[in-house]
Amino acid sequence: MVSTDAAPAIVVLTGAGISKESGLATFRCEGGAWQQVRIEDVATPEGFSRNPQRVHDFYNARRAQLAEVTPNAAHLALAELDRHWPGDFLLITQNVDDLHERAGSRRLVNMHGSLRRARCLGCEAVSPWEGNTTLDSRCPACGEVGIMRPDIVWFGEMPQQLERIYAALGQCELFLSIGTSGHVYPAAGFVAEVQGRARTVELNLEPSKGASLFDEVRQGPATELVPEFVAGLLARWR
């Protein structure tokens, strides 16, 4: 039983909506990525086997975009919460951009991988990656050429660090979901994991698919809702 004055254990889940106001496209909103390209072609192992160049091009373009964007007030507020929260804290992002890291978040899991890493299909080593992945990329670990892929979790693949994620959900007393449509599992199922034990809050531009599962839903842009919510938490617990 947690004593009443202990800071509750917090788990935050973010999706593409938190990076929208930094200038990065979401997936399912108007003009989103999945209206430009087919998931089957660029976000599945089969798509990569069929046409690896097309997949390299898709992620290379998104990686190049990172140089043009910066963390917004929502990313920065979550990094401040991470820095000052006296209790357990984990930020789980579905995003593959590096804006949470650049904002200063440390207790962070990129469950769908990261544009800043590439993985060798031969030795499975994951390496930090700047610039383009190509059909001629060499693995920094084993030296093999032509078998590098983006370290992105595609549909049909296992998300990363699930053990750490479910351990945090098991202790969670406050679950905050920000900027995600609730379409993709397992992330869309996290709220059901903690329901009844944790206070659950959704901060989103519009209600997500799972909005009815939350104790509280606040609608609006992340750069307004997140700093306000974090300030309220820190005023009480810092």
Ligand-binding site membership of 15 (annotated): yes
Region 200-219 residues binding ligand APR, contact defined as CB under 6 A: 204-206, 208
Rounded distance between C-alpha atoms, residue 208 and residue 211, angstroms: 5
- Give the residues across from 175 on adjacent strands: 11, 200
Region 84-113 residues binding ligand APR, contact defined as CB under 6 A: 94, 112
Ligand-binding site membership of 177 (annotated): no
Is residue 100 part of the annotated active site? The answer reads no
Residue with tokens 């108007």: 30
Q: Which residues contact 125 (CB under 8 A, 6 or more apart)?
A: 119, 139, 140, 141, 142
| 221 touches ligand APR by CB under 6 A | yes
- Least distance (Å) between residue 39 CB and ligand APR: 7
Residue among 110 and 137 whose Cβ is closer to ligand APR: 110
Amino acid symbol at 232:
G
Among 26, 110, 177, 200, binds ligand APR (CB under 6 A): 26
Q: Which residues contact 169 (CB under 8 A, 6 or more apart)?
A: 11, 175, 190, 193, 194
Ligand-binding site membership of 176 (annotated): no
**Mask: binding to ligand APR, 158-197, rule CB under 6 A, as x and -?**
---------------------xxx-xx-------------
Among 28, 107, 138, 199, binds ligand APR (CB under 6 A): 28
Which letter, b or e, does each residue of 104-127 get, where b requires 16 or more Cβ atoms within 10 Å of its Cβ? ebebbbbbbbbbbbbbbeeeeeee
What single-letter DSSP state applies at residue 151? Answer: E
| 16 touches ligand APR by CB under 6 A | yes
Ligand-binding site membership of 188 (annotated): no
Rounded to the nearest 5 percent, the helix, strand and coil shares of the chain are 35, 20, 45
- Least distance (Å) between residue 77 CB and ligand APR: 13
On whether the CB atoms of residues 113 and 126 are closer than 8 A, the answer is no
What single-letter DSSP state applies at residue 158? Answer: P
Ligand-binding site membership of 209 (annotated): no
- Least distance (Å) between residue 72 CB and ligand APR: 9
List C-alpha distances in Å: 177 to 39, 64, 103, 217, 226. Answer: 24, 27, 18, 9, 10
Residue among 184 and 234 whose Cβ is closer to ligand APR: 184
Find the part of the chain contacting ligand APR (CB under 6 A) among 15-23, 62-70, 81-89, 168-176.
15-23
- Least distance (Å) between residue 187 CB and ligand APR: 7
Region 33-92 residues binding ligand APR, contact defined as CB under 6 A: none
| Residues tagged active-site | 112
